[in-house]
Structure 1
Amino acid sequence: MKMLIRLIVSFFVFIVDVVYGDRSYARFYVLETIARVPYFSYVSVLHLYETLGLWRKADLLKVHFAETWNELHHLLIMESLGGDRIWIDRFIAQHIAVAYYWVVVLLYMLFPQYAYYLMELIEDHAYQTYDDYLKINEAELKSQPAPQVAINFYRDGDLYMFDEVQTTSNHEFRRPKVDDLYDVFVNIRDDEREHVKTMVALQKPEARQTFKSPHTVFELIAANTDKTG
């Protein structure tokens, strides 16, 4: 199954690279539109299980919704940069997203571990794509201002949802710079790395029972510290 998933992702990446070439913002717009979809699928299935009284895991719902929120702001940033300017790009992204939603719903219901593996590969590709883009375009990006939507999301707004996608080992949340467009793409790239970490963690056999969201982990640490202190 993993081999099949890798082949499908590789084929999709190849098609996107061929179609969009050096139209970076349009390609990022399409990728971010599609990248949100699995998190919607996960949340939908989890809601179904809870509604039917089969299974409930609040932390999974919270983290997956936070991931959709994170990807939404990546999408808003790409729109602010003109990535959705041409109607055919919107048409392609939105129609693929609708079909992809139902594919992931079915996969998540039957094989949740593989649904997370699929997203791990996609988010890892996104990380590598943004990292390569940063290396090639560093000087140009540093000369351009950060879009206001990025400033609001990464610095000036309510950061609770931003924190909920962070898998940290030192129990500190990221507080990134947003001084220019280069910083914005660094932040988006680093967000994708956080998504990869979460997808890897959720593939562990015990994850559905033991997984805790970042804020839940911090609350448990604080409670234990108070008890021992």
Structure 2
Amino acid sequence: MIRFIVSFFVFIVDVVYGNRSYARFYVLETIARVPYFSYLSVLHLYETLGFWRKADLLKVHFAETWNELHHLLIMESLGGNRLWGDRFIAQHIAVAYYWVVVPLYMLSPRYAYYLMELIEAHAYHTYDDHLKTHETELKTQPAPQVAINYYRDGDLYMFEETQFTSDHHFRRPSVDNLYDVFVNIRDDEGEHVKTMGALQKPEARQTFKSPHSVIELIADQAEQISEA
């Protein structure tokens, strides 16, 4: 089933919208962010019923939805949602997709995360190919204000929560032109891939920490060592 879902997703994004970049990215972002909604819904259900509680997963998955929302807003600012038919297709697939991922996540979180890892990897390569093909053109165009607000001038806490950092330092990317914006979106997708991979480990549901929790833990350990 995982392969079928991914193949369908790739068909819609690459074949149906292959020649219309911004409409293609609008559809990609509308559909690709849906699993995070599904994860949050199931986690909130478990919490409500008293089955299981894990605040770090809720934090990270919400930050990921916030991240993908801003990718979507960027595509809308570039005209990706201009046609009614594109909005209709993307939104109706997204609704159906939500109800596919909810039971999948309840039955097997590992497979639900694997599904998202494949989709985010596809998104990473899609944006990477776009950057390589249109580098010169993108560098001549200004960054949309919504991208500047999200990546540089706004409250960066939510942006930081999506970063699967190995060196425990948060990204502070440039947003000087449209090329920078697409680099940032591509790199965001790469962070999601790493997070989805980490969450497939058997112990992940008990041991996973959000980026800020990791940094706070390291700071506490360093303070304890200095006081010893």
- TM-score of the alignment, normalized to the shorter chain, above 0.5: yes
SS for the counterpart of 1:146 is coil
Quote the Cα distance in structure 2 between the aligned partners of 1:221 and 1:6. Answer: 39
Among 15, 24, 45, the alignment partner of 1:18 is 15
Q: Which residue does 1:69 correspond to in 2?
A: 66
Runs of 4 or more consecutive aligned structure 1 residues displaced over 3 Å after TM superposition: none
The answer to whether the Cα contact below 8 Å between 1:6 and 1:121 also exists between their aligned partners in 2 is no
Please give the residue correspondences for 1:1-229 in structure 2 after superposition, counting only pairs within 5 Å.
4-229=1-226
What is the CA deviation profile of residues 19-60 of structure 1, one whole-angstrom value per residue up to 9, with x for unaligned ones?
A: 112100001000100111000000000000000000000000
Quote the Cα distance in structure 2 between the aligned partners of 1:27 and 1:109. Answer: 30
TM-score normalised by the chain length of structure 2:
0.98
Quote the Cα distance in structure 2 between the aligned partners of 1:16 and 1:188. Answer: 16
Quote the Cα distance in structure 2 between the aligned partners of 1:40 and 1:190. Answer: 21
Quote the Cα distance in structure 1 between the aligned partners of 2:166 and 2:106. Answer: 30
What is the CA deviation profile of residues 80-136 of structure 1, one whole-angstrom value per residue up to 9, with x for unaligned ones?
A: 000000000000010001010011001000011000000000000000000000000
Please state how far the C-alpha of 1:12 moved relative to its aligned partner: 2.6
Quote the Cα distance in structure 2 between the aligned partners of 1:207 and 1:137. Answer: 39
Quote the Cα distance in structure 2 between the aligned partners of 1:112 and 1:157. Answer: 33
Quote the Cα distance in structure 2 between the aligned partners of 1:227 and 1:83. Answer: 51
| AA at the equivalent of 2:126 | T
Quote the Cα distance in structure 2 between the aligned partners of 1:31 and 1:37. Answer: 10
Quote the Cα distance in structure 2 between the aligned partners of 1:214 and 1:16. Answer: 31
Most deviating of 4-13 and 58-67: 4-13
SS for the counterpart of 1:169 is coil
Give the share of equivalent positions with the same residue, in percent.
84
Quote the Cα distance in structure 2 between the aligned partners of 1:104 and 1:195. Answer: 17
Quote the Cα distance in structure 2 between the aligned partners of 1:69 and 1:91. Answer: 22
| AA at the equivalent of 1:222 | A
TM-score normalised by the chain length of structure 1:
0.97
Quote the Cα distance in structure 1 between the aligned partners of 2:82 and 2:12. Answer: 20
| AA at the equivalent of 1:60 | L
Please state how far the C-alpha of 1:169 moved relative to its aligned partner: 1.0
Q: CA RMSD in A?
A: 0.8
Quote the Cα distance in structure 1 between the aligned partners of 2:82 and 2:158. Answer: 28
Please state how far the C-alpha of 1:203 moved relative to its aligned partner: 0.1
| AA at the equivalent of 2:136 | A
